[in-house]
Structure 1
Amino acid sequence: MAYDPNNIFAKILRGEIPCKKVHEDDHTLAFHDINPQAPVHVLVIPKGAYVSMEDFTARASDGEIAALFRAVAQVAEMVGVTAEGWRMLANVGANGGQEVPHLHIHVFGGRRLGPMLVKG
C-alpha cells in the first residue's frame, strides 16, 4: 500500500477536515473516531507521512517513535480507560484490515471488549 497524500488522515492533519481532537503534540494527533466501535474509540496518528507500522519503524526518528507510543498511553489516561482496561490496535495491510494508508493506532475502551479475533 503506497502513501496517498489525499487520505482522510492527511486531510485532517492539513486542517481540511475537522476532527474532535483529544491530544496533539509536535509529532502526533489523537482524535475521536467518526464511526466508534466501542464507547471510547480514539485514533492516534503520527504527523509524518507513514503508511504502516513497518514504514514508521523503518523511517521515523527515535523521537517520533517515542512520541507516538507516549501519546497512546497519554490518550488512554485522558479518556479515562486505564483503570478498567483498554486495547490498542494497529491494522497493517489488506489482510490486517487497514483501510486508510496512514499509520493509526486505535485506542478502545469503556466496556469489556471481548476476544481479539473471531475464530475461523
Structure 2
Amino acid sequence: MDEDCIFCKIFAGSIPSKKIYEDEDVIAFFDIKPMAKVHFLIVPKLHVPSLKECDASHQALLGKMLLLVPKLAEAQGLAGFKTLINTGREGGQEVFHLHIHVFGGGPAGS
C-alpha cells in the first residue's frame, strides 16, 4: 500500500467510491470522471505503479483482472465494451497504480 495513492486510500476506506465488485485481490468501482455512460475501473489491491512494472509474478493477478472485465461489463448491462490501460505519464496515466478502464453504452451525458 502506498500512503499517497488515491486507489490505496479507496481500498482503505478513507476515500469513498461507488463499488461494483471487491474480493481479496481487486476492487472495481465507477470512475469519478466518466467518459461513457458506463465507465468503471478494475484495480488490484497490490500497489503496482503501472503495467510497465509488472513481471511474471503478476501473471495470475493480471489474468484475474482481464477475466473480470466481461463479467462486470455484462453485470452493468453492456453487450460490448472497450478497455484501456494507460501506462506512464506519456501514455496518459494520471493515477500511478495499475488499473483497467472499462467503457460502454455510448458517450457520457448522452
TM-score in terms of structure 1 length: 0.80
Give unpaired runs (5+ residues) of structure 1: 113-120
Give unpaired runs (5+ residues) of structure 2: none
Q: Which of the two has greater strand per residue?
A: 2
Aligned with 1:75: secondary structure? Answer: helix
Aligned with 1:29: secondary structure? Answer: strand
How many residues are aligned here?
108
Cα RMSD, aligned residues only: 2.0
Q: Which of 1 and 2 has greater Rg?
A: 1
**Aligned mates of 1:40, 1:4 — CA distance in 2:** 28
Aligned with 1:44: secondary structure? Answer: strand
**Aligned mates of 1:40, 1:111 — CA distance in 2:** 8
**Aligned mates of 2:5, 2:29 — CA distance in 1:** 16
CA displacement 1:27-82 (0-9 Å, x = unmatched): 110000111111000011011011111223x164443222211222221111111x
State which of 94, 98, 104 in structure 2 corresponds to 1:103.
98
Share of identical aligned residues, percent?
44
1:68 aligns with 2:68: no
